[in-house]
Amino acid sequence: MPTPTLPEARSFTGKLYSLTPGGYQLVSMSVPMNELQSQYTDGWLTLNHDGIAFRFNYRDTKDGHPRYSVTAQIPNNAHDGGQLEISRNGYLGLYKVSTNDQLWHVLPDSRNLPDAKALLKQTRWSEVFGNDPEEERLKECLKECLIPVLMHCDQGRSIKLMADEPYLSTTEGSEPRLFIDIEGEL
């Protein structure tokens, strides 16, 4: 099977994964526990096992690198079509009305690729898939289809995983290993 690559200067859809020594998690949207909490947590990006699809809308190329606006693809959800942007506090969130037309660089990441492949092999797949009969096919797809990427905003700030909270940020935390599973080119 050929090694997957990012589409050049084209829009595409896909899911974002983060890989840690404990396994992988999908980039997703926070889920409020109650109505009061929803005004504070709804729409912020986090990691869990229920990921959402994103549309990477190719906009242009700057300094030899493609730039994308990134929108959520969540049918039947208020945040469907919400644009990935950075809050004034540095959190990543989905905004229905764009506040600054944030653009993102998505670049291939070749840093320690063998280490990333080793982490995929160590993933506790039973925690990911449970008793899913498709588990073996999905495991192989994840091992072969994920593209390691670096992703940062136009101002150069990279995505970080906050240590004490499950949210994604650009201001504090560690830089997670990110992967894209491309679902389709547009």
The Cα–Cα gap between 9 and 60 comes to 7
The Cα–Cα gap between 120 and 108 comes to 18
Structure tokens that stand for 160 in this block: 């970080």
* pLDDT tens digits for range 52-79: 999 999 999 998 889 999 999 988 888 8
Across the chain, mean pLDDT equals: 79
The Cα–Cα gap between 85 and 70 comes to 8
* pLDDT tens digits for range 12-42: 999 998 876 556 788 988 866 555 555 555 7
pTM greater than 0.85? no
